Amino acid sequence: MNPLEEINRQAKENPLTREALKKQFVEKTKELGLKHTFTFDEAFEIGQELVRRQTFRDKIVEFESNLKNSGKALSEEKMHEINPVKETFAGGCYIREIFNPAGELIITKIHKKEHPFFLLKGRMSILTEEGVQHLQAPYSGITKPGTKRIIYTHTDCIFTTIHSVDSIDKKEIMKEIVTEDYNDPVISLKEIEKLKLNINNNTR
């Protein structure tokens, strides 16, 4: 077993304290002759946040799978029927205005690109990696790459998103703005960049 495999095994089977990890980081960096573009503190904070996010993601994917297998989830065709979407293109933007009826539980797709959203009508509760938000119109916010939501609509709602896109072809747009898999490299790269930027800003 090489040193990196040993570190991965240890992290899973016998996790160390922060102080012990820092000592190991310094020793292994010297032993392996590595050069890093980040400090230990940056790496540790990013690692902790990624673990927290991965835990949430595993749970939401499991919940969605269990719901689909229960036979109680609506088909995609039925969902589109009771949640009609109005689509508009303007200035390189794809605008989606969707109606969500009251009393509906919705699990969204995984978003690949940062974009604004607007709750134009109604009240809803949203669960994401950041926790639970209770929103009431009018409300606006920003969706970050990697976001997957569980939404409960307390009343009839109108929810609008605006996406910067390179195409007007619906299939190409969907490939550009959403993904079915958290392993999409676009999400991973953008998230790590943002996490490092946030950590640097918070430590200044």
Q: The CATH number of 76-184 is which of 2.60.120.10, 1.10.287.3240, 1.20.140.10, 2.60.120.920? A: 2.60.120.10
pLDDT tens-place values along the chain, 204 residues long:
555 566 566 666 666 676 776 776 667 677 777 766 667 666 766 666 667 777 888 899 899 999 888 888 888 889 899 999 999 999 999 999 999 999 999 999 999 999 999 999 999 999 998 889 999 999 999 999 889 999 999 999 999 999 999 889 989 999 999 998 887 877 765 555 555 555 455 544
Which part of the chain has CATH 2.60.120.10? 76-184
Contact 124, 79 (CB under 8 A): no
- C-alpha to C-alpha distance for 7 and 133, rounded to whole angstroms: 38
